[in-house]
Structure formats: structure tokens, C-alpha cells
């Protein structure tokens, strides 16, 4: 049995997993990313966890390598570059430093880095639904909106290594202010953050009797909107419809560039199921140029939410 180590670096947690070739996460270690302010200490802590996991199978097996999914992770450079949600600034030479630290301790492991959404796309190819799908788009709906794009069986990295930013394509240049400094990015509408902005706008601009009015306005979450939709709350349902429409435009525009067979949705908001999926399919077809209509399926990812990020990262070793 071959194994690989997958690392999911997030703003809150860093999860290091030992993954077998069938896609089982056989052991997991965790670090609180925010416990660290000095990047060297953080990387040393990750190294110790990698070695701990590698030791579990060192007698019997081969470890293929270490894959890392990280915000603003760059595949070509092996770096994290200016990630806004991490406690470390600037460019982190992730691949180079980790490989040196591991080698010093006698572990000769190749480290591969990409961003979290690209890792999810590769995870879908290796362990999920996309084993035989040559052209697809993976959309991750979390605090932000990420994406990984596969063309002809290969992940698209482009000239910079940062290709595949559907979440930061602009659907309304006069629209909502985005954290990235520009206006009207898909992410400002279709993320967990975006849907909360939408519901607040809807509640502010109407006098409906939505059940969401029973919740402190500043504490409404995307989960509350989902719960309200389940109860048939009209405003919550309209909110999903609007969110789906904005996301549909972003997906349709991306689909006209790469013509995917499948679009997979992953992450928090995708758990809303048909509240999002049904209007999303309808609006995507409306926004698609005729030659692409009825050629694209939108589905939920086949990766288990809990392990997906680690699986995706581990899949980088293949």
C-alpha cells in the first residue's frame, strides 16, 4: 500500500493527514494556524506532524510525498503568496523550507503546493466523481468562492500558476465592494459571506414577516438562511434564488471559456442542496450561449466534506 500526506492550510486550522491509495484518511493531526505568528515556528510544527504520521507506516510502506493546499498557494513556485487570511505576511517558501527541514531529519519527501480549490479539483479527479471526466470546474463555496479548472484531464495553472479564479471574476463592475479592492466579484454574492449580505439587504428593503427577523440582524448566518428556507420562508427562498442567479452568471461565463462537462460544488453553501442547485441550473442555462446549453451538469462534489481538503492535497502527490 502506498500512502501520501495531505495538508490543508486554513486561516483557522491546519490539518495534516495520512492518506492511503484508496483515499482513506487513516490518521490526522491538527494545528491551530493562529497559534503561530512566526512562520519558521509554524513550519517546524508542521514538519514534526508530518514526521509523526510518516513514522506510523515507515516499516511497511512507501510515502509518495507531501501535498499542500493553501490559500494563494502557487504550484510553480511552491509558495504561499500574500494570503490575506493567514497570520503570516508576504511570500512563504513553503516547498523549499519544508523539504530542507524534512531532509535534515532523514525524510526525503517531495512537497507540492497549490491553492485549496485546485487541491479540491485534483481530489475530485483522484478520489471523487471526476475519475473519467476530462473537462470540469470545481467551485468551492466557503467564506469566499474558489475554483479549480480541469481541461483535457489537467489542472489549469496558466502563466502565473494562479489560474482558475471564478470567484474573482466580475459580474457587476458597479456592484458590491469586494475585499480584493474591486467591485462586483462573484465571491461577494455567492459565498457564505455574500448570501448574508443579500439577506440583510432583502430584510432592510422589505417589510415581509420573515422568520429571520427573530434573529439579531448582525448575527444571521448562512445556516440560519438555510433553516428559514426549510421552513418555507419566502425571503430566505428569494435570497437563495438571487444567490444562485449571481453564481450562475459567474459559472456560465467561465464555462464559455473552457466548456466543461461537469461543474462540481463543494463547501458550506453547497450543503443547501436544491435551494441553491435548482435555481442555479435554471439560471446557468439562461446565461449560457446556445451551443453550450444542455451540455453541462452541475452536481455536488463526491468528496466527503470532512476529509476533502486533506484528500485534495494528498492527491497532488499523484
Report 100-159 residues binding a second copy (CB under 8 A): 134-135, 149, 151-152, 154, 156-159
- Based on the shown chain and the rule CB under 8 A, indicate whether residue 264 belongs to the binding site for a second copy: no
C-alpha torsion 299→301→304→305, nearest 10? -100
Closest CA to 119 of 71, 62, 64: 71
Closest CA to 211 of 236, 239, 194, 243: 236
Question: Would you call 6 helix, strand, or coil by DSSP?
Answer: strand
Question: Would you call 198 helix, strand, or coil by DSSP?
Answer: helix
Q: What is the closest distance, in whole angstroms, from the C-beta atom of residue 160 to a second copy in the complex? A: 5
Which residue, 17 or 73, has its beta carbon nearer to a second copy? 73
Q: Look-up: residue for cell 503546493? A: 113
**Candidate residues 173, 214, 218, 219; the one interacting with a second copy per rule CB under 8 A:** 173
Q: What is the closest distance, in whole angstroms, from the C-beta atom of residue 108 to a second copy in the complex? A: 29
Q: Which stretch binds a second copy (CB under 8 A): 6-14, 123-131, 168-176, 310-318?
A: 168-176
Q: Degrees (nearest 5) of the Cα angle 246, 248, 252? A: 125
Angstrom distance (rounded) from CA 113 to CA 131: 21
**Candidate residues 78, 164, 267, 268; the one interacting with a second copy per rule CB under 8 A:** 164
Angstrom distance (rounded) from CA 22 to CA 27: 14
Which residue, 95 or 168, has its beta carbon nearer to a second copy? 168
- Based on the shown chain and the rule CB under 8 A, indicate whether residue 88 belongs to the binding site for a second copy: no
What number of chain residues touch a second copy (CB under 8 A)?
48
Q: Which residues sit at the interface with a second copy, rule CB under 8 A? A: 72, 81-82, 134-135, 149, 151-152, 154, 156-166, 168-173, 180-182, 185, 249, 252-254, 256-261, 286-287, 289-292, 295-296
Amino acid at each position: 500500500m502506498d500512502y501520501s500526506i495531505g495538508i490543508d492550510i486554513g486561516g483557522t486550522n491546519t490539518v495534516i493527514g495520512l492518506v492511503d491509495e484508496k483515499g482513506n484518511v487513516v490518521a490526522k493531526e491538527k494545528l491551530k494556524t493562529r497559534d503561530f505568528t512566526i512562520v519558521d515556528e509554524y513550519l517546524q510544527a508542521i514538519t514534526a506532524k508530518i514526521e509523526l504520521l510518516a513514522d506510523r507506516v515507515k516499516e511497511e510502506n512507501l510515502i509518495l510525498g507531501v501535498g499542500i493546499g493553501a490559500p494563494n498557494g502557487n504550484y510553480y513556485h511552491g509558495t504561499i503568496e500574500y494570503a490575506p487570511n493567514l497570520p503570516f505576511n508576504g511570500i512563504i517558501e513553503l516547498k523549499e523550507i519544508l523539504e530542507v527541514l524534512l531532509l535534515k531529519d532523514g525524510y526525503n519527501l517531495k512537497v507540492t503546493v497549490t491553492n485549496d480549490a485546485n487541491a479540491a479539483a485534483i481530489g475530485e479527479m483522484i478520489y471523487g466523481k471526476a475519475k473519467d471526466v476530462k473537462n470540469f470546474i470545481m467551485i468551492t463555496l466557503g467564506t469566499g468562492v474558489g475554483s479549480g479548472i480541469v481541461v483535457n484531464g489537467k489542472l489549469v495553472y496558466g502563466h502565473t500558476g494562479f489560474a482558475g479564479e471564478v470567484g474573482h471574476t466580475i459580474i457587476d463592475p458597479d456592484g458590491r465592494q469586494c475585499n480584493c479592492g474591486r467591485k462586483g466579484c462573484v465571491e461577494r454574492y455567492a459565498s457564505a459571506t455574500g448570501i448574508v449580505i443579500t439577506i440583510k439587504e432583502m430584510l432592510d428593503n422589505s417589510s415581509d414577516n420573515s422568520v429571520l427577523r427573530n434573529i439579531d440582524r448582525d448575527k444571521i448566518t448562512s445556516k440560519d438562511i438555510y433553516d428559514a428556507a426549510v421552513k418555507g420562508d419566502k425571503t430566505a427562498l428569494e435570497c437563495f434564488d438571487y444567490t444562485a442567479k449571481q453564481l450562475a452568471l459567474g459559472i456560465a461565463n467561465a464555462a464559455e471559456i473552457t466548456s466543461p462537462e461537469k461543474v462540481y460544488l463543494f463547501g458550506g453553501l453547497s450543503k443547501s442542496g436544491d435551494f441553491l442547485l435548482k435555481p442555479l441550473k435554471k439560471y446557468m442555462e439562461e446565461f449560457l450561449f446556445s451551443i453550450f446549453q444542455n451540455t453541462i451538469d452541475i452536481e455536488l462534489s463526491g468528496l466527503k466534506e470532512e476529509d476533502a481538503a486533506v484528500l485534495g492535497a494528498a492527491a497532488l502527490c499523484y
